[in-house]
Structure 1
């Protein structure tokens, strides 16, 4: 099954990228994001794209400009995640054939992102929006909109957010911090998958 969990690997180094990629895939997480404020992020992403093949969806986070989108397309990235909803970044992402997940927090941002062609909305920081805020916002979104909670939401919150209608989650420090071994990441990922599967039954 393809779980709606995006692993956010902020701070990952290129020489550990493939081992951590494989640990995540083995645990059952197949959507992987390397934020562009990590060391040599394009190198890490390119290595992961080549190693993953069809086993995972690999892309970048903290994508703030069109030039970065074009560079990501050139190395085979499949997904662009941003903390904001820049219409130019969204449009270029779609023009390059990649999935677009811009960050939003308000109805204005959410609808602007969808009009620009976003594939899904990253609600960030989700803990500030809260369940009540998300429910109110989700009520006016087009039916079938893909929504992701990112920031301050962890495995203990999965059931409540899924119950409120969220599509999935982006997890950073719950799953990876600089210095974590591939084995540790794999163990954390396995626990997260167990929680997610229990919440989606």
Structure 2
């Protein structure tokens, strides 16, 4: 696993997914996330001028924060990501060619999986962690079964529909952290609202580990 990505997961195992964010607001949102404890931020490539936002965040927040691209689907997007200073590739699917290409570029990799077949294919391709997606149709019992066959070493990151009050059930089932989307940030949300939700997630995560 990428050591910097591993270290960031160890600090606060939450991935902030800023789908739809614009370059004009990304620095202010990034600052409140980091102030709340987040160390991993994803800007999906479906967002307006996503690579610019990634470059701005990477430059502003520095190497202590992992900044990456989500919804990556093509190998050529990886070169743009590296040029923007990003260090993490997130995908909604288990494309082994894309995973291997990201590993070759020294990017941390978080591919989306929903089945054991996808999970083991991603692991064999070099994935650092697995985005269990969409978790709103993958209950904790299914995650527990996936954890049983995968073993303890590969981080499992449920993503999709996670709320502050649902994290504890997934942690008991074997989750290693969470990808947080619209419950954390929606386009148009104020910085104050994002800060409130970020603190709620971190507070509930600490309580769940206690």
TM-score by length of structure 1 reads 0.97
Equivalent in 111, 126, 129 of residue 138 of structure 2: 129
Deviation at 1:80, TM superposition (A): 0.6
Instruction: State the partner residue of 1:57.
Output: 66
Deviation at 1:55, TM superposition (A): 3.2
Runs in 1 of length 4+ with deviation above 6 angstroms? none
How far apart in 2 are the matches of 1:55 and 1:136?
34
Instruction: State the partner residue of 1:138.
Output: 147
Deviations 1:99-119 (A, max 9, x none): 000000011000000000000
Deviations 1:24-44 (A, max 9, x none): 001111110000000000000
Instruction: State the partner residue of 1:28.
Output: 37
- Contact 2:161 2:181 (8 Å CA) reproduced: no
Counterparts of 1:1-40 in structure 2, within 5 Å, are 2-40=11-49
Instruction: State the partner residue of 2:87.
Output: 78
Equivalent in 150, 166, 179 of residue 159 of structure 2: 150
Instruction: State the partner residue of 1:95.
Output: 104
Greater mean deviation of Cα atoms: 123-132 or 110-119: 123-132
Q: Aligned residue pairs: how many?
A: 201
How far apart in 1 are the matches of 2:63 and 2:88?
14
In structure 2, the residue corresponding to 1:55 is in which secondary structure?
coil
How far apart in 2 are the matches of 1:71 and 1:88?
17
Deviation at 1:138, TM superposition (A): 1.1
Deviation at 1:142, TM superposition (A): 3.5
In structure 2, the residue corresponding to 1:139 is in which secondary structure?
helix
> How large is the RMSD of aligned CA atoms in angstroms?
1.0
- Structure 2 unmatched ranges of 5 or more: 1-9
Instruction: State the partner residue of 1:173.
Output: 182
- Contact 1:126 1:152 (8 Å CA) reproduced: yes
TM-score by length of structure 2 reads 0.93
In structure 1, the residue corresponding to 2:150 is in which secondary structure?
coil
